[in-house]
Amino acid sequence: MDPADGKSEAWHSLEIRSFGRRRGRKLSARQERLLAELLPRVGVDLSQPSPSNLASLFPPGTSAVWLEIGFGGAEHLMWQARENLGVGLIGCEPFEEGVVKALAAIEDGGLGNVRLHCDDVRPLIRWLPERSVSRVFMLFPDPWPKKRHQKRRLFSVDLLNLLARVMVPGAELRLATDIGDYARTALRAVAQTPAFRWTAEGPADWRVRPPDWPETRYEAKAGREGRRCYFFRFIRG
């Protein structure tokens, strides 16, 4: 979809935000430079038509494109980028603190296979070409624990329907949470979305983190505070 037709902006204005404030502490001189100089080079420009081949956003030889929704401190995003140099990764994060951490890691590591979107992920998903993403990560999203705020939870039937359009058949959607109620509502959302199926065969399939799924600071914090973590993998049919 071409954002110029105005439909993407209209949808965005009607959607409930799933995150709070975007800016935290004062930025250092280096961080200001990264935002001014590096972000324009690695940012995804939604004002342009989406490419017919999403891999063209990345270096030649890119074999697949993965998406991380809400990359936080960027540890997982950068680990995947370093371990999978033939894969292009798009990281989406609305918070400036996380964005500058990702930019610093991109510069320090010389990583050419990472692109960033620094806003709500839903306009980005609508911009992406059909069947262009091979894996999606959503790790420890904001749980919005108060009942009156649960409508702000991002993982939902609506989001799954958006993802179903852009994920290739057989693509994997990974979700991690340390909130039991979020896990239950996520499973209900998947059950209501025919495009996705949960392939777990036993408790270890959601209680044990796979080896290609590195720990994040949020998981470490949950462990220190005695909360169980859930690791779900869903398949796009």
Active-site positions read 142
Pairing of strands 64-69, 196-198: unpaired
Question: Could you tell me which residues come within 8 angstroms of residue 27 by beta carbon, excluding any fewer than 6 positions away?
Answer: 35, 96, 100
Residue with tokens 């796009």: 236
State residue 144 phi and psi, 5-degree precision.
40, 70
Tokens describing residue 154: 């991002």
- Rounded Cα distance between 170 and 68, Å, is 17
> Among 230, 213, 174, which Cα is nearest to 79's?
213
Classify 66 as helix, strand or coil.
strand
How many Cα atoms occupy the beta-carbon half-sphere of 56 within 13 Å? 8
